Structure 1
Amino acid sequence: MNSPDNADSVPLSTGSGWRPSDVEGVSIARFEQVIGALRTVQDRVAGARAPESELVEAAKKLDEISRFLAEFQVPHSEQVAGHLDVPGRGQSLVPAFHVDRADDDSVSGRVSFSRFYLGGGGAAHGGAIPLVFDEVLGRLANAGGRVRSRTAYLNVNYRVITPLDEELTLEARFDSEVGRKRFLSAELRKADVVLADAEGLFVALRAGQP
């Protein structure tokens, strides 16, 4: 699931918030390549039990990469990560959500929890699941040119243990809007089995709010 979405095959409305965006001076494909490599490193580190000498060498190599990128640091408002309408928004915190279908009021797609998100007993960490729900519901709340909003609450019900390394489906809906309040809901499934579901309240920002 490291390949980018084929945006041309997804029926999205203009300004829906799910299409890839252009970033001046940056190749989205190349940046995704870096994030994909970082995701792989996270999984390898999480699953590694290497000799101490090899861990020392690995730390040195990671430090080299850190120093290499140090000269390219910019204010968060100018960074690419977190501002791309691509799976995972060009960052490695949240498991990448791959959109299959989307409009202003609903979205469905696929997600997989890799080794990095292991909680215990082969199951995805309980804290990783709300991350995905908040990512998808938050973007849907702001889709269609709506004024930007922030999460007021997110209630998650855990129904069945969520497995690692399996392609799961996630469907989300914009249920209603009352004033500045937006109510949304979603389900995470393995085939027809609901693994977890969520309901969230997102509140539109007032003029001037960051």
Structure 2
Amino acid sequence: MILSNSTFKLQYTFTPSGYSTTQASLRLTPFAIGTSIGSLEAGLIINATGKYNTLGQTVMLTFVQGVLPVCAFRLTTPLFPQLFNFFMAGSGYGGTLTVTLLVLIFSADHSEHAVITSATYEFRSKGSTIGTTIGSSIFRNVLGLIWRLREMFDEFDRLSEVWKGKAAFAYMDALHTVLWAELELGVLAFQCYTQEREHTQHKTLDRK
């Protein structure tokens, strides 16, 4: 749910500032890079230590710390803080994916690993669909009466200069509401991680 909102909504923090769709999407690159690095590092740490409880809480907290400043972004926010926090959020998200998958594998019998892995992807895809629906509903309801801007952001460029500024602020307010909802989901996920039970990591398939 969090990823879907990040992918489809974070790029909109750049659009009211005059960036094209391509430029706005390119500025999400740190999120993708952070996701890859966070996932790889989490796997290496678990392989080296055999522990994941504290790591799971750490990566989820990293995600929350990355998203929190994004919730306060304005049209005048400098580029570097945006890129840095996107990277932080991506690192936390990537680490979370790896930790979650390995936790399920460690807690299940070897004969059930295929089912467990399939279930994680199933719930991830369902979460993406639900997250996109929730995020879009919040965004559309908050943006409210500006229906043309709500349906097609290209209408923003056709506004007069007087209305363009007001529309941009209204658009950012709607976006902030979605991001705060995303942050709340992250905090809830962090609380779930605190309830995890540690399972022993085995080096062989027969768990010896």
TM-score, structure 1 as length reference: 0.28
> Which of the pair is proportionally richer in helix?
2
TM-score, structure 2 as length reference: 0.28
**Highest RCO, 1 vs 2 (Cα 8 Å, sep ≥ 6):** 2
